[in-house]
Amino acid sequence: MSTPKRTISSERTRGPVVLLVEDVVDVRSVFAEILVREGFGVIEASNGHEAIVWAHAARPDAIVMDLSIPLLDGAEATRILRSHAATRLIPVIALTGYPVEPADRKEFEHVLTKPCMPDVLVQRLRAVLSRGAAGGQQR
């Protein structure tokens, strides 16, 4: 298993922390760089097992989860996170290039289809986080 890394964020990053789970290094790097530039702290993971470990260790404000990742796919990793009290309320945005079954969609606050424009991801993250700050998560 590769070692997950925390993205070095700039001094101006004082915003929410996002766990970015994506196995394609180039895609993950681009999204991480954009999120940091937009003021988010970013923790990177490349598979479902790392996602679970980092979610429990860092308690991020939100998770962006690719669904087609190694070792444990994103949908299953999300179900596991939802089954633990410590991670149940962390909002998860799915990022996928494949259709998502209606039964699986309910696990996610949003499902974004690849290719996804970074500004759309940032907008959805801000919307999810502002709802959580305004009145707590609804799960």
pLDDT at position 21 is 97
Q: Where are the domains of the chain?
A: 22-131
**Number of helices and strands in the chain (H, E):** 5, 6
Q: Answer whether CATH 3.40.50.2300 is correct for domain 22-131.
A: yes
Mean pLDDT of the chain: 87
Do 40 and 17 contact (CB within 8 A), yes or no? Answer: yes
Angle, CA of 32, 37 and 41, to the nearest 5° = 60
Q: Which two tokens stand for residue 54?
A: 């980092």
Specify whether the backbone of 71 is left (phi greater than 0), alpha (psi in -120 to 50) or beta: left
Q: What is the pLDDT of residues 34-68, one digit of tens each?
A: 999 999 999 999 999 999 999 999 999 999 999 99
pTM for the whole structure: 0.86
